[in-house]
Amino acid sequence: MSLIEVKGLRKSFDNLEVLKGVDLTVEQGERIAIIGGSGCGKSVFLRSLELLHRPDAGQIFIDGQEITARGADVDAIRRSMGMVYQKFHLFSEMDVMDNLCLAPVRLKGMKRADAEAKAMELLSQVGLASRAHAWPTVLSGGQQQRIAICRCLMMEPKVLLFDEPTSALDPTMVGEVLAVIRMLAKRDMTMLIVTHEMNFAREVATRVLFLADGGIYEEGTPAEIFDSPKREKTVAFIRKIKFFSFEIEDRSFDLMQLQGGIQTFGEKYGLTQKKVYRLQICCEELVYELLEHCYAPDEPVSMALTVSYSEADQSTEIDLSCTGAQFDPFTQDDDGLGVTILKRMAQELSCRWENGRNAITIKL
């Protein structure tokens, strides 16, 4: 039996549908990293598992019990999960020991002495035994987050949910929290971790989920997602690719608007003026080459041009697709001036005929 099973999970806020039918199965011992751009629903998904956000539709089973069922004992089912938030949510009016002992004593009936012994054991494991009676307000952010993790472990959960556990920390404190999560990973603790720490996700996770378009857009092992992503948005996210797009629907399109857009794109992402100039020249020559050879004088024009820039290797690429006659500008017997310029500036050139459109890629 799976530890977590999610079927058709949907969640909207007003008119914004964030989750559009998510399905997921989590087995005992899996460590799942959940990544994706801001606003893609990572935290909403995680919080929905505990019904902190109540789904609009779908079912969630935790260790065989449906937490979304009418009449379900939600509090009892939640006890098999521990949630670590971006903010630490420690009780400021209680010292560390009281923060750790409160839930197991009240909810599980544990004797206070036993709870304190367990708390000291956990604090020792995370290097904070000396802070057992400190007030949360005098602790650093990293120390508070380690205490928050210990508080979850006091309830002996079957799965831990981490909602960007290092996002509120100073960079100098991130490592100490990630070290605790690594320790739990070595003990085969089942974990779902929403994170922006890609290297950490690669190291710790057994499976990575990339969320986009309201669901799990792509999933796989860390090697599959980080080294060989297959889908366009995953590739763009992993390689931090930035895009500028421009559509042409008339022969008398605004060339200055296109060139100005490329200039602004280059300035925004720190491209050198030389790279910007090359992009502008190549786009101009390519567009006019295709206008001349793919379209009759009165034929409707449909072109979609995208300039992309990869922060990972600082490479730039031009992709242009257009309707009209099939035409490969790079295999003609007599190269015109425009094609000659493209061949001299480009590192790679390719042209394909796909679904009734010319598809050209130029890597600079």
Provide the 10 A C-beta neighbour count for residue 23: 12
Q: Are 293 and 161 within one domain?
A: no
Q: What pTM was computed for the model?
A: 0.71
Q: Are 79 and 27 within one domain?
A: yes
Of 205, 238, 271, which closes a domain? 238
Tokens of 132: 């057992």
Q: Are 154 and 262 within one domain?
A: no
Q: Are 234 and 250 within one domain?
A: no
- 364 residues of the chain, pLDDT tens digit each: 789 999 999 999 888 899 999 999 999 999 999 999 878 899 999 999 999 999 999 999 999 999 999 999 999 999 999 999 888 889 999 999 999 999 999 999 999 999 999 999 999 999 999 999 999 999 999 999 999 999 999 999 999 999 988 877 777 788 889 999 999 999 999 999 999 888 889 889 999 999 999 999 999 999 999 989 999 899 888 877 788 888 888 888 899 999 999 999 888 888 889 889 989 988 988 888 888 888 888 888 888 888 888 877 788 888 888 888 888 877 776 666 667 777 787 778 888 887 788 888 888 8
Of 238, 273, 292, which closes a domain? 238
Q: What's the total number of domains in the chain?
A: 2
Alpha helices in the chain (DSSP H): 42-49, 74-78, 96-108, 112-125, 141-153, 171-186, 198-204, 222-227, 232-238, 255-268, 273-294, 337-345
Q: Are 197 and 287 within one domain?
A: no
Q: Are 9 and 86 within one domain?
A: yes
Give percent helix, percent strand, percent coil of the chain, each to the nearest 5: 40, 25, 35
Q: Are 222 and 100 within one domain?
A: yes
Q: Are 21 and 169 within one domain?
A: yes
Which of 80, 102, 273 is CA-nearest to residue 160? 80
Strands (E) located in 91-131: none
Which of 190, 188, 193 is CA-nearest to residue 177? 193
Instruction: Give every strand in the sheet of 57-62, ordered side by side.
Output: 16-26, 4-13, 57-62, 65-66
Amino acid making up residue 117: A
Tokens 């992503």: give the residue: 229
Range of the domain at 294: 241-363
Q: Are 115 and 216 within one domain?
A: yes
The distance from CA 74 to its chain's CA centroid, rounded to whole angstroms, is 29
Angle between helix 141-153 and helix 96-108 axes, rounded to 10 deg: 20
Tokens of 250: 């008339």
Of 213, 238, 263, which closes a domain? 238
Angle at 165 between CA 163 and CA 170, to 5 degrees: 145
* CATH at residue 258: 3.30.565.10
Q: Specify whether the CB–CB gap between 24 and 60 falls below 8 A.
A: no
Q: Are 234 and 272 within one domain?
A: no
Sign of CA pseudo-dihedral 174, 177, 182, 185 = negative
* CATH at residue 88: 3.40.50.300
φ, ψ of residue 189 to 5 degrees: the values are -70, 135
Q: Are 232 and 288 within one domain?
A: no
CA pair distance 171, 174, nearest whole angstrom = 5
CA pair distance 116, 343, nearest whole angstrom = 73
Q: Are 133 and 195 within one domain?
A: yes
